[in-house]
Amino acid sequence: MTVTRRSVLVAATATPAAGALLGAPGAWAAEAAGPAGRRTLPLRDGWRFALADPVGATAATGEYADPGYDDSAWREVAVPHDWSIERTPTTEHGTTSGTGFFPGGLGWYRLAFTLPPECAGHRISVEFDGVHMDAYVHCNGTEVGRHPYGYTGFAFDLTGLLHTDGRTPNVLAVSVRNQLPSSRWYSGSGIYREARLVITEPVHVPRWGTCVTTPDISAERAVVRVRTDVQNESGAPAEVRIHSRIVDADGRTVARTASTAAVTDAATETHELTVARPRLWDFTDPHRYTLETELSVGGRTTDSYRTGFGIRSHRFDPDEGFSLNGVPAKLKGVDLHHDQGALGAAVSADAVRRQLTVMRSMGVNALRTAHNPPAPELIRICEELGVVLLVEAFDCWRTGKNRYDYGRFFDEWCERDATEMVLAARNSPAVVLWSIGNEIPDSTSTAGLAMADRIIDAIRAADATRPLVIGSDKYRRLPAKGSAADLMLAKLDGLGLNYNTAESVDALHAAYPRLFLFESESSSQTSTRGTYQEPEHLNTGENHTPGSRATSSYDNNLASWTMSGEYGHKKDRDRKWFAGQFLWSGIDYLGEPTPYDVFPVKASFFGAVDTAGFPKDMYHLFRSQWTDEPMVHLLPMSWNHERGATVEVWAYANVPSVELFLDGTSLGVREFDGKRTTDGRGYLETTEATGDDKTVTDGPYPGSYTSPNGSAGKLHLSWRVPYRPGELKAVARRDGRVVATDVLRTAGDPHTVRLTADRASLAADGRSLVFVTAEITDAHGVVVPDAEHLIAFDVRGGALAGVDNGRQESAERYQASTRTAFHGKALAIVRAGTRAGTLQVTARVAGLRTGRVSVRTTPARQVAATPAAAFPPDPPALPNLPYADASYSGRPDTLPAAMLDGDPATGWSNGFTKAATALLPAFTGARPEDWVSVDLGRTRTFDRVAVGFTVDAAHSLPAAVAAAVWDGHGYVPVRGLQVDWATVSDAPTVLTFAAVRGSRIRLTLTSAHPGEARGAVRISRLDV
């Protein structure tokens, strides 16, 4: 829903010190002037902020709410604002990996403003789209209300508390208390969504006062039913004329009607309008109409109210799946948490649009708001882009998942918050489902049945046109008949499943034929952009080496509850009745960094795209399955590897045939087979045993996921390629014609910083954002995949809003002027200035050619008044010396530093064990080769190394050891290496070689039993 925005003469002032006279107020940004009636003023500039307590253990004190309090020393901020993202990641103040190691605490906001005499006699309220969390709002020293839930909007009536003489300042004071942990993910802290003043005449449409439905749609006509609430706070009965007019996207009136109602206090009027030959809102043509509501009394307009809506029908059928406007369609969905990477939770329409545009390019047509009601900006942009929405209410009910989460407030607030969620989104054509919660502990208890009734009743009272579901991990096995889990399903229209096997999905469909089913969370495969490990294994181990904590992008790093992306897609694809899936997750998010729980790993690994918005290989897997435009994508993403290595090369494609070339020489053609589901839908897949489902015990492919049509196979093509530098090219063909290519080239030495902006122009309003990608390239423009240079950004004509690189393990600040490259890339998010002209971004790296990009900025009608903050540089901290490193560490308690701690009971190991998952058995294996190193930080002479190797059931002596010394540019193999092998576990094995000068030494260790549990290598002591 959108509301008409018109101006009111309002001025912002700095809050005066107690007893001080108010100085001349500066002009406050106001909207375009309009006739009498509704006026809306965004509350963005002029706020003062103080972090009173970084923990939030203390309660809010009243002195900050006093209108005479001197806040001149407080920091000036613009709203939306998230104070947590401004802080340096830390293990203090109650932070956890789940919160991304960002603090919360107790913060205060104050805003002073004057109102002109024209506002006297009007109704004035303040609206907040979201404050996280536990907010108390004061106006001129009076507490006007509290709102605990951080993810729903709220409003308070300020009429009678405000000065309207044009001289006396009014002071809004908002306390925000975010004690951690309050969510299982990064929540952000503060007034992180938009706020506004709404000024109306006594006869007006109240907040969320229109409800638009389309009960009858055909090609010839659509019936639009409009229910309008009218509020009369004049104190006298009034004859109110209610006008409804529908306008299409081109501004043409397509239907109108009016009626008169006698309104004493409040009334509701219903209109039915007919739109001829309606243009439907759809995935590919998301056309929207606008309802213009006008109230008049005695011929004078008292209110104008605008409501965006769309004409469309949708259906979820237990046997036929999902359809939009009568056309069957799979939900090709993703789950998204609400943070926007380096911007934190502070909502920006530009950032939301960028995220959703990237998702749309992957083929996404659906979004689940995980696990809370969304910002209005997200709803609006989904409407614009043709993305349907599952809007979710809660992550817990009475039983919380964290000490300070919503469970504290559920009993008092759940109906109000569920109602607010629905009222804020019910007129959106994008919204097709309401979810009462996600993985709710109470949902399978007897007490939870009554809790569910309260939420369901509140939702259905506000909107009865959409199905109700829950997202659940409680139904991986059939519940007992008559149990609370069974009775809960009787209350719902559909069931969202989190990480169910195909076997359990089929069992639920048979047992509950009334329910439609879909995957509310699918896959949860983890990956790091540009990182690859052991494609021959379906379930690889995590690297616990500090600085290298990452997971493989071969779709093969899984937690105990998760499944590969390929498995999740096939499970959904093969069942016509399955409504679709929501991939967990579309984009990496701050917090919940599974599989790691250690500082400074602060972002998740689940996304198909990283926090900087750079696609990972998982993005291309789903693009190959969800889009029709011909494509092919090679992984690994780069062609820089160890000489002598054999590289497993995959191709994701949506065309039948791909040929691979290395420097023009064909390495062979690989082809998908054309197959059909049991209901006749075509798809591409190889035909081979996949080994990805231990629950399949019979049929032609035991141990592999087998489709209902009896087939098994993979969604990628593969080659094993002996590495040599050059050009690797994939050529995709359909019917013998080349329709897509992908090319990888070996990168040379770093040479240049290349900058690319995601738009050519933007408004000079002080708020609009441009996203600038920085790439470290060689002299020929090829991205250097291992580049980790520190990039210094400088902006003229604007300001930095944040920097990122997509790396999950990083202690770098997001609000800084520097960022290290990660796999050759970084991102600068740049905010426009307030003067039209040119915005220029410069990126400098020591020793490389400087990068520059310019973007045109155009005049804006309204500009930000709050100065942009200047960000300092934030170079990574230098390691303590001597510093031990390794290519791989198999467990969090066997890190490289243990080689140098002098304790023989501790040590480094590359051995790992992966627990069994629902589909895969446990796996223990040895890596063929790994290296360890020691950096002394100064040049010295090396000629001897003593190594204590552990020999036990899980570790063996290596088959071979090689040594190399860093000469300032690279590692150079030593000469004359002699190895005197120890004969006892942990006794010194001594390496001697010709003396050589350097600052680091590296040992490369070859397993004596690669692939076997006993073949891992452990070093208890390393003496250089």
Residues belonging to the active site: 439, 521
Q: Which residues contact 426 (CB under 8 A, 6 or more apart)?
A: 211, 462, 463, 465
**∠305-346-425 over CA atoms, to 5°?**
35
Helix (H) or strand (E) holding 737: strand 737-745
977-1015 burial: b if 16+ Cβ within 10 Å, else e: eebeebeeebbbbebbbeebebbbbbbbbbbeeeeeebb
Contact 368, 520 (CB under 8 A): yes
Strands (E), 311-447: 314-317, 321-324, 327-328, 331-336, 366-369, 388-392, 431-438
Contact 210, 226 (CB under 8 A): yes
Contact 328, 746 (CB under 8 A): no
| Pairing assessment for the beta strands 468-472 and 682-685 based on DSSP bridges | unpaired
Alpha-carbon distance of 334 to 621, in angstroms, equals 14
| Residue in 167, 203, 244 with CA at minimum distance from that of residue 11 | 167
Alpha-carbon distance of 428 to 430, in angstroms, equals 5
Alpha-carbon distance of 248 to 73, in angstroms, equals 50
Alpha-carbon distance of 88 to 786, in angstroms, equals 26
**Cα 965 versus chain centre, distance:** 42
The partner residues of 147 in beta bridges, in order of sequence, read 135
| Residue in 913, 942, 919, 914 with CA at minimum distance from that of residue 1000 | 942
**Structure letter (DSSP) for residue 86:** G
Q: Computed from CA positions of residues 436, 439, 443, 448, in that sequence, does the dihedral angle turn out positive or negative?
A: negative
Compute the CA torsion angle 654, 659, 663, 664 (nearest 10 deg).
-120
Alpha-carbon distance of 424 to 391, in angstroms, equals 11
Q: Which residues contact 982 (CB under 8 A, 6 or more apart)?
A: 948, 949, 957, 988, 989
Residue type, 5: R
Alpha-carbon distance of 449 to 934, in angstroms, equals 59
Tokens of 979: 């190895």
Q: How buried is 786 (Cβ within 10 angstroms: 0-12 exposed, 13-18 middle, 19+ buried)?
A: middle
- Alpha carbon separation from 913 to 87, 333, 530, 926, 1014 (Å, rounded): 36, 32, 23, 10, 12
| Pairing assessment for the beta strands 366-369 and 331-336 based on DSSP bridges | parallel
Alpha-carbon distance of 102 to 814, in angstroms, equals 11
| Residue in 194, 84, 153 with CA at minimum distance from that of residue 421 | 153
Alpha-helical segments (H) within 100-230: none
**Structure letter (DSSP) for residue 688:** S
Alpha-carbon distance of 375 to 345, in angstroms, equals 10
- For the CA atoms of the chain, what is the radius of gyration? 31
Helix (H) or strand (E) holding 566: helix 565-573
Contact 573, 513 (CB under 8 A): no
Three-state DSSP class for residue 546: coil
